[in-house]
Structure 1
Amino acid sequence: MGREIGDFLRSRRARIRPEEVGLPGHGRRRVPGLRREEVAQLAGVSVDYYIRLEQGRGPSVSDAVLDAIGRVLRLDDTEQEYLRKVARPGARRPSAGPRAAADGPAAQKVRPGLRLLLDTLDRAPAFVLGHRMDVLAWNDLGDAVVGFSRLAPRDRNIPRQVFLDPRARETYPEWPAVAAETVAHLRLYAGNHPQDPQLATLVGELSLASEDFRRLWADHQVREKSHGDKRLVHPVVGELALPYETLTVAGEPDQMLVVYTPEPGSRTEERLKLLASWAATPAAPQA
């Protein structure tokens, strides 16, 4: 936990220039951004107290102190909530299951009602994400767009797809943005589930295989996957412009329903209709 909060706070300090917070920017600095002493001064806490917090030795730190540090470091709402979780690990939402502390979050299942909901979204590609951004379920059009059913169960994971699939950079024309968003959401998950051994395995695997992942993971960006836009090149119908909305599943806080919502009357909508028709053909070729 000490390394997690220390790395996060140091990365946030490094992005703030002294002159942005009213401090003189001249003089030699060994590292970019604010010094620990400057953060402590601006937040109204002692230097020793802030250093202990950055070392992970401040489990009883108050919301007022964390809010003050967040204001100095210009954290957004997601980053501020992440800071609270890594600063007070005992207050994190517990993972489900009696063996969660030792084995990580329990295996997830998608309830029948949610699967039925997926099937009713016949004009929109949709899928359900779970722990570590594993893909748990999808509708027919979501499968036609992404091809989940053709993947081995272990590979039905968004970070693995983005960083390990050799076709990913061709599939996503804006791959750098997709990669950064994926890592930022995985980092947010890590704040909720620091004891998940499968997360540690995934991060280790991706770190060994991808220099881009190592760089993005070390940057400590955290971001919710709430909504946005994604461009995707499909091997059958070509480029698709896909706005998306992400909804947390009630009663299953670690599951998210992701729905692509193409603009009505757009070329993407027409191409999705073609893709749906193609996917419904029994003899449809595999892309």
Structure 2
Amino acid sequence: MDDRPASARTPATEPLDSRAELSEFLRTRRARLQPGDVGLPDFGRHRRVPGLRREELAQLAGVSVAYYTRLEQGNGRNVSGEVLDAIARALRLTDAEHSHLTHLARPTAHKKKRAGRPQRVRPALLQLVDALDGVPAYVVGRRSDILGWNRMAAALFGDWGALPQQERNWARICFLHEGARELFVDWDQKASDMVSFLRMEAGCFPNDPRLSALVGELSVKSEEFRRLWATHDVREKGHGVKRLRHGLVGELTLSYETLRLPDDHDQSLVTYHAEPGTESEAGLRLLASVGTGRLDAGRGVVGSAPGAGADFPPPHPFP
């Protein structure tokens, strides 16, 4: 018998179940809180469930137990924004979690249409990415699809152009390619971030067949993905620090910035840079001097950049 949560057993051919997503998200958020965390008395010797009871959460949110129970069972129809705000406060949700709850409880009809549109990167943006000399940069879209990159990104992360277009996806690379575990010193954090991003995507686009297929494939092939997917954690990280272990230049500590495009919120420009005067900056300069590949933008052709070391192998070749 398969005891995984329903959301972790999602068939690759079926859309994600919005009602199940809402139900499990609320249940897991409630389970992580104890009465003492929210100022309630704890008569915990005979508690049969982890975390808060439904009646305790309903009391905190100022709604009836029956109303909250219906919502946690996945029936979010006609729920008001005010009620969702009250439940978010009671559950101590972050801004990202609050947004995710709203998407799950109040889906809109236009999401299915938006999810089905093919993504294209503007030529001018591709030119900008290519012009960022010495700065690893790429454009990422829905489902963590990698849409375009410059030669420094290829030198740092590996030759994405060697992959079939449908496999140029950060989540697939993170969980299904051993090179990613070698490259990211904090692979566990990278993996958690990727699943949190896909959870946000699932809330926005539950009817996206490619997203459902990706979740289904990763659920079948990766035990780590199944475990993280079942937590229902969501968060947004616009910037931070990554430690990488590169085959040519050793360990690098790089800061990244994620810049969401104002005219297309489903695409982001991601850049990496090193602190001036550090060994990591010297490592990036070395990578820039040898290079690998040119900007591709998902067209399936990657060649050698003029003056680049065409014989230099990718740091972590993908299978």
Q: Same fold (TM over 0.5)?
A: yes
From 126, 131, 134, the counterpart of 1:123:
134
Equivalent-residue separation in structure 2 for 1:4 and 1:186 (angstroms): 13
Q: Which runs of 5+ in 2 are unaligned?
A: 1-17, 292-306, 315-319
Pair 1:281-2:293 in alignment: no
Q: Which runs of 4+ in 1 moved over 4 A?
A: none
Equivalent-residue separation in structure 1 for 2:198 and 2:22 (angstroms): 16
Equivalent-residue separation in structure 2 for 1:133 and 1:250 (angstroms): 18
Equivalent-residue separation in structure 2 for 1:253 and 1:283 (angstroms): 35
Equivalent-residue separation in structure 2 for 1:57 and 1:182 (angstroms): 28
User: 1:186-201, aligned counterparts within 5 Å?
Assistant: 186-201=198-213
Match of 2:246 in 1: 234
Letter aligned with residue 47 of structure 1: V
Q: Deviations over 1:22-60 (max 9, x none)?
A: 223222222210111111111110011101111222321
Pair 1:79-2:97 in alignment: yes
Cα RMSD of the aligned pairs, angstroms, is: 1.5
Q: Deviations over 1:45-78 (max 9, x none)?
A: 0011101111222321112111111111100111
Asked if the contact 1:5–1:56 (Cα under 8 Å) also holds between the matched residues in 2, the reply is yes
What displacement does 1:197 show? 0.6
The DSSP-based 3-state class of the residue aligned with 2:97 is: helix
Asked if the contact 1:105–1:193 (Cα under 8 Å) also holds between the matched residues in 2, the reply is no
From 132, 153, 162, the counterpart of 2:143:
132
Equivalent-residue separation in structure 1 for 2:30 and 2:183 (angstroms): 35
1 or 2 for the larger relative contact order (CA 8 Å, sep ≥6)? Answer: 2
Pair 1:169-2:181 in alignment: yes
Equivalent-residue separation in structure 1 for 2:203 and 2:33 (angstroms): 23
Match of 1:21 in 2: 38
Letter aligned with residue 111 of structure 1: R
Taking structure 2 as the reference length, what is the TM-score of the superposition? 0.84
Asked if the contact 1:43–1:69 (Cα under 8 Å) also holds between the matched residues in 2, the reply is yes
Match of 2:76 in 1: 58
Equivalent-residue separation in structure 2 for 1:155 and 1:39 (angstroms): 42
Identical columns (%): 52
Equivalent-residue separation in structure 2 for 1:117 and 1:281 (angstroms): 19
Letter aligned with residue 94 of structure 1: K
Match of 1:216 in 2: 228
Letter aligned with residue 312 of structure 2: P
Asked if the contact 1:105–1:131 (Cα under 8 Å) also holds between the matched residues in 2, the reply is no
Aligned length: 280
Equivalent-residue separation in structure 2 for 1:41 and 1:283 (angstroms): 65
Q: Which runs of 5+ in 1 are unaligned?
A: none
Asked if the contact 1:229–1:242 (Cα under 8 Å) also holds between the matched residues in 2, the reply is yes
Asked if the contact 1:93–1:192 (Cα under 8 Å) also holds between the matched residues in 2, the reply is no
Match of 1:157 in 2: 169
Equivalent-residue separation in structure 1 for 2:110 and 2:133 (angstroms): 35
Equivalent-residue separation in structure 2 for 1:178 and 1:227 (angstroms): 13
From 175, 188, 193, the counterpart of 1:181:
193
The DSSP-based 3-state class of the residue aligned with 1:45 is: coil
Change (3 A) 1:62 1:236: same
What displacement does 1:179 show? 0.6
Equivalent-residue separation in structure 1 for 2:143 and 2:200 (angstroms): 10
Equivalent-residue separation in structure 2 for 1:155 and 1:269 (angstroms): 30
Letter aligned with residue 164 of structure 1: L
What displacement does 1:167 show? 2.2
